Amino acid sequence: MEIARAGLFKVAVAEAAGGLGADILTALHVIEEVARADGSTGWCLAMGVNTFRQSAQFSPEVRRLMFHSDPIGVSAGSANPRGRAVAVPGGYRVTGHWFFASGCMHSSSLHGACKVFDGDAPRRLPNGDQEVRIAYFYPKAGARILDTWNVSGMRGTGSHDIEVDELFVPDEHTFSALERRTRVTGPINRIHGFDLAGCAFACVGLGVARAAIDALVELASAKVPRSSSDLLRERAAAQARVAEAEALLRSGRAYLFDVVREMWETVLATRPITERQRSDLRLAMTHAAQSAAKATHLVCETAGTTSIFTGHPLERYARDAEVVTRHNQLQFVNYEAVGRTLFGLESNSPLF
């Protein structure tokens, strides 16, 4: 609730629309800093920032109802089309089950992507693909939250499963997954949602890694390892490892923010974002998250057995860092997708 009171979920929403009006770079810095304090909180903030961006797809009346009438206002759900939306007068009858609804315990609404049907027949787009719509379940009491988030890291995100069964969703509470209606104007709405979300999640990893390095520096000034009479910070191996971790973190971070800055300048100039820019961003966000996780694990290794005890924050940092790299936007396989484009081949990733 303190995050909501501070307006951080709306950090990237225009001031005229009730937000803080920050640019994308500032928004990512905020997510990174919150994740430095707590990875799960940073992750939920990242999700909230992106759902407020998505709110631009709705009419002002629906936006006020679902996103601004509630003290928190965020939605939680999935863009994976695991639902079935059958067209009925005034909207859709939705049935579905979705995974990884981060923040669902505190959100004011839930949402899920659905394949659209007219009766039993799939509704086809002009290109032959089946239409997919994102359906918002408001109030969220119409959906069920299933207690499934029994995991090692990022436990505080509450990324449980959600499901609905034959729930009526008004048409005005849905939008096409391919639609870029953006009724709310502003440069952040010209950035693809997958790209914004991926950058935000990578910044969670950066924040966790920074916290881990800070924790090691503090530990090393007090810990005397066994079979040694010197402080940990006086060991050459520890000195080399903390420097390597710092280099991994800062280089990955610098690359990410350099690419994001270039993309932001593009949208400010109202020029279209190129596929090469999206490819570069995919590479930068993957590299930032992977490098941050390596830095975190290097720090934990340097800390010795201290990092395996649940009473020390390094144990949680290691688990949280690993979960960040498991997200499909940040997995190692994204290097392959980007590498294909560097060779002049079409990407094999649905993310860009």
pLDDT tens-digit profile of 310-329?
999 999 999 999 999 999 99
Q: Where are the alpha helices (DSSP H) in 236-274?
A: 236-268
Residue 74, pLDDT score: 93
Provide the 3-class DSSP secondary structure of residue 124. strand
C-alpha distances in Å from residue 276, one per residue of 196, 269, 346: 16, 17, 11
Residue 257 CA to residue 276 CA, distance in Å, equals 16
For 209, residues 6+ apart whose C-beta sits below 8 A from its C-beta are 245, 248, 249, 292, 293, 295, 296, 299, 317, 321
Segments of the chain scoring below 70 in pLDDT: 180-186, 351-352
Residue 190 CA to residue 297 CA, distance in Å, equals 36
Q: Quote the strand ranges of the chain, DSSP E.
A: 75-88, 91-101, 109-118, 121-122, 132-137, 144-146, 160-170, 174-176
Residue 282, pLDDT score: 95
Name the DSSP letter for residue 345: P
Residue 13, pLDDT score: 85
Residue 184, pLDDT score: 52
154: region left, alpha or beta (phi > 0 left; psi from -120 to 50 alpha): left
Q: What are the structure tokens assigned to 260, written together?
A: 């994001």
Pairing of strands 121-122, 174-176: unpaired
* E strand or H helix at 221: none
Closest to 62 in 3D by CA, of 136, 149, 163: 136
Q: What are the structure tokens assigned to 229, written together?
A: 């009479």
Q: Are 45 and 30 in contact (CB under 8 A)?
A: yes
